[in-house]
Amino acid sequence: MRAPSITTSTPDERRTYVRERFKCISNCDLCGNCALFHGRDAETALADYIDGHAELPEVVMRYRR
């Protein structure tokens, strides 16, 4: 499933997508989300997307080094 666009979705829809897509499985060796977001949980790391300030790919790119 593609990430909902900030122009056609609500914050609740975007938050639900983030929760489902970046769900913590309590095994960092298999998941990688903690490493991707430098120790932050997905909702905190992707707050700009959830709040509608930037699209998901733009926010995720901020964490790539």
Query: What confidence score (pLDDT) does residue 29 get?
Result: 78
Higher pLDDT, 32 or 46: 46
Q: Is residue 39 left, alpha or beta, with left meaning phi > 0 and alpha meaning psi from -120 to 50?
A: left
Query: What confidence score (pLDDT) does residue 25 get?
Result: 86
Q: What is the mean pLDDT of residues 37-57?
A: 95
**Can you give the residue ranges of every domain in the chain?**
11-61
Spatial separation of the C-alpha atoms in residues 5 and 36, rounded to whole Å: 21
pLDDT tens-digit profile of 2-38?
999 999 999 999 999 999 999 988 887 788 888 889 8
Query: What confidence score (pLDDT) does residue 65 get?
Result: 66
